[in-house]
Amino acid sequence: MTQHLKHFIDGAPVDSSDGARMSLVNPVDEKEYATAARGTVEDVRRAVAAAHAQLKGGAWSRLNGAQRGMLLSKLADLVQRDLDMLADMDANAIGRSPMEPRMMDVPNAIANLRAAAGWANQLEGRTIPTSGYMGTKTLSYTVREPIGVVGAIVPWNSPLMITTWKVAALLAAGCTVVIKPSEETPQSALHLAALCQEAGFPDGAVNVVTGCGEVVGKALCEHPDVAKISFTGSPEAGRAIQRIVGPLFKRVALELGGKSPQIVFDDAAFEDAARGCALGIFVNQGQVCAAGSRILVQKGISKRFAGALANAANQIRIGNPAEPGVQMGPVAKKAQQERVNRYIQRGIDEGAQLLAGGVSPSGPGFFVKPTIFAGATNDMTIAREEIFGPVATIIEFETDGQAIALANDSEYGLAATVWTSNLARAHKVAQALEVGAVGVNCWSPLDANLPWGGLKTSGIGREGGLGGALAFTEEKVITVLLP
Ligand code: NAD
């Protein structure tokens, strides 16, 4: 039976002000499995009003940090209880194997909530020595205050995990939120909001408005009572958001795309590196911001390494991820399948050597073959642009200096991986890389306590860790004259 999802505003499921709906399509069989409310500017107004009221004298504004922490702990317990259901929601919506969100995304979401539960009571100010005021002593200290209502705009590739990155931290900081999930994946955000209510969060503290970025996302960016936009998604949408929030001086965090290098030195543990690089590009069909899509391999091992990766790609069983033994499902949507195919054709046209995969036929299902290009150069389109699919480009290098130069020759700067058994080389290279996070002999580890974010076109700001919660506060200075 087709499910009909509604917004969650002020503690209640509601339809759009104009009754409009949008279709949710299963990427495996291309059939509609649910509809969701297509949000309007009026829906955003209602949600922001509810979130704002909670900050201006509402029950939420009267809670202290310890009480907010207790609510977050309770929410973490409820997400733990519903782990399988939430994992299935996120997996089914984008055709992903449910094992991945069960093992990674939802446990990460729970960890985000538990970590934030601890931070809620730790957002301390400072006491700062000063030279006084006109010869009289003063006491200056700072307090951390919630920024206000946050608009949290989320992509489809890891919906619950990314939503909790934002929501856990901002609730710890005392903010309230209107979540705008991706058009493809509203379910887990709506369920999270219902769990917030079950946990005892006051109505209006957490709201969800489903719908299109250009309407709901834009209206959140423009709304005068939204103090901060916390966005994860494409650089194109990030730019559109910047154009609106920049002149309004709103706070903004942008977690954008990547073209992350995995650097494999000839002294690396070969099998571990091959397995790690395959994971880094094929997990979630390569639809990961930190996907290790540029694989830089030292000359002495490059042919053997490319062969090992092609072998790994050819062995992946593609199909309906609900069936046993299937390791890779389709990509999330038709537009994504067309995009990835276009890039694969471009790689062939620009002269890269196709070792595995290739352009995939359309339907039924948005399937794309895991694809490996070798003999590529860093100026090829497949080495420069984010494909967001299971496509890796192997580029050869000779020296450490060349590896660093190639890795940094990118408009992106999100993550990188260094595979080597030489500790000094690992640290030296890691420090020279222009990215937000480096994994040494491991691909892109995520942890609720670690900051996450990128340089250059990969974004502005950091989420995760205590700093992630502090980013949802303003530091106010109070100076008291002591005559
Ligand atoms: P997208 O930019 O198309 O959409 C992301 C969200 O923004 C969606 O909710 C969408 O509705 C909304 N949106 C779109 N246009 C908007 C606009 N003009 N104003 C306001 N909101 C708007 O991205 P996507 O296709 O959902 O996700 C893929 C992208 O996300 C990739 O580039 C990927 O690298 C990036 N990503 C980054 C991270 C990170 O942590 N850096 C994590 C996951 C995904």
Residue predicted with more confidence, 444 or 378: 378
Residue 1 has pLDDT above 80, yes or no: no
Q: Give the DSSP H/E element, type plus range, for residue 74.
A: helix 65-81
The closest of 343, 415, 351 to 382, measured between CA atoms, is: 343
Cβ of 156 closer than 6 Å to ligand 1, yes or no, is yes
149 alpha-carbon distance from chain centroid: 20
Rounded Cα distance between 411 and 456, Å, is: 6
Per the prediction, the chain carries an average pLDDT of: 97
Average pLDDT, integer, range 55-82? 98
Average pLDDT, integer, range 277-283? 97
Domains and CATH numbers, the chain: 3-256+458-479 (3.40.605.10), 261-448 (3.40.309.10)
Q: CB neighbours of 410 closer than 8 A, spacing ≥ 6?
A: 259, 261, 294, 378, 384, 456
pLDDT of 446 reads: 85
Cβ neighbour number for residue 166 with a 10 Å cutoff: 28
| Omega before residue 364 within 30° of 0, cis | yes
Cβ of 214 closer than 6 Å to ligand 1, yes or no, is yes
pLDDT of 25 reads: 95
Average pLDDT, integer, range 3-9? 97
Residue 368 has pLDDT above 90, yes or no: yes
Rounded Cα distance between 441 and 113, Å, is: 28
**pLDDT tens figures, 155-200:** 999 999 999 999 999 999 999 999 999 999 999 999 999 999 999 9
Rounded Cα distance between 29 and 364, Å, is: 6
Rounded Cα distance between 283 and 277, Å, is: 10
**pLDDT tens figures, 413-439:** 999 999 999 999 999 999 999 999 999
Band (pLDDT 50/70/90 cuts) for residue 443 is: confident
Band (pLDDT 50/70/90 cuts) for residue 361 is: confident
pLDDT of 362 reads: 77
pLDDT of 215 reads: 98
Cβ neighbour number for residue 14 with a 10 Å cutoff: 16
Residue 308 has pLDDT above 80, yes or no: yes
Average pLDDT, integer, range 83-103? 96
Average pLDDT, integer, range 255-276? 98
Q: CB neighbours of 131 closer than 8 A, spacing ≥ 6?
A: none
pLDDT of 174 reads: 98
Is residue 279 classed exposed, middle or buried when 0-12, 13-18 and 19+ CB atoms within 10 A define those classes? middle
pLDDT of 2 reads: 84
Band (pLDDT 50/70/90 cuts) for residue 471 is: very high
Residue written as token pair 């892109």: 444
Cβ of 165 closer than 6 Å to ligand 1, yes or no, is no
Cβ of 93 closer than 6 Å to ligand 1, yes or no, is no
- Residues that are catalytic: 255, 289
DSSP 359: P
Ligand 1 atom closest to Cα of residue 454: 41
Cβ neighbour number for residue 266 with a 10 Å cutoff: 17
Residue 39 Cα to ligand 1 midpoint, Å, equals 17
Phi, psi for 186 (deg, rounded to 5)? -80, -15
Rounded Cα distance between 352 and 394, Å, is: 9
Ligand 1 atom closest to Cα of residue 255: 41
pLDDT of 455 reads: 98
Rounded Cα distance between 198 and 178, Å, is: 18
